[in-house]
Structure 1
Amino acid sequence: MAVAASALKAQQSRMRVIAENIANAQSTADAPGGQPYRRQVPVFQAREMDGMTGVTLAQVRPDQSEFKKDYDPTHPAADAQGYVLRPNVDTLVEAMDMREAQRAYEANLNVIETARTMESRTLDLIKR
């Protein structure tokens, strides 16, 4: 149950990072020629706990992929050539990542529920 609980916490953190990415998918720079929001990527790490291996969010690092570039000379963040850098966030990818995180979260909840049921049944057998 402790391993599944650590995975729940890690997936919850992952969903927060994904939500931040989606919220900033259209955020441009404040100044002309500046950089927009850069997609964040959660990095997980194995963690030893009570002789078992769980998981934890080790860090959140920026995605170093290229920004999207649009020609819009009227935009306040446009550079001298009229191009605006857009975030490197693909909302479709983020939506798929969110769904995967939700499924992993649900799977770990099922593990905890199954473990509780098994413990309860074991106690019932011992009482008899």
Structure 2
Amino acid sequence: MSLQLVPYLVMDGNSKEAIEFYEKVFTAENLGIVKFGDMPQNPDFPIPEETKDLIAHATLKVGESILMFSDNFPGQPHQKGNQVTICVSTKDTDKSQQLFEALQVGGQVSMPLQKTDFSPSYGIVTDKFGVTFQIYTESH
């Protein structure tokens, strides 16, 4: 079984700048960027026009490690100090489901586990200790 814990930096509208900075600092490889405006629009959750150029998800390869980024979702508060979460990355959707269910016991789900443009099974949960995990299933 392949399982990886990945630092996930949630930025306050400056992910693009941070990505460019870390690319230079770590001689990192940009593995892809998805902007909020690139994602299919959901009429129940419209993306404001001014946020369409913000980063919804990005990945850098730093040596043998991965560093992921996003800008804070429009309308969500951002507080310095809580912008780092742990992204649990696996290739197995069943494992993602198992981990998500275990972490949500006594915790709080921010985003239910679901298919997204960048992952077949992705969700965000804060466990009973206040640690926020992003469960990320790699595309095959």
Whether these two folds match at TM > 0.5 is: no
Output the TM-score relative to the length of structure 2. 0.22
User: Which protein has greater RCO, CA pairs closer than 8 Å, 6+ apart?
Assistant: 1
TM-score normalised by L of structure 1:
0.23
**Comparing both structures, which one devotes a greater share of its residues to helix?**
1
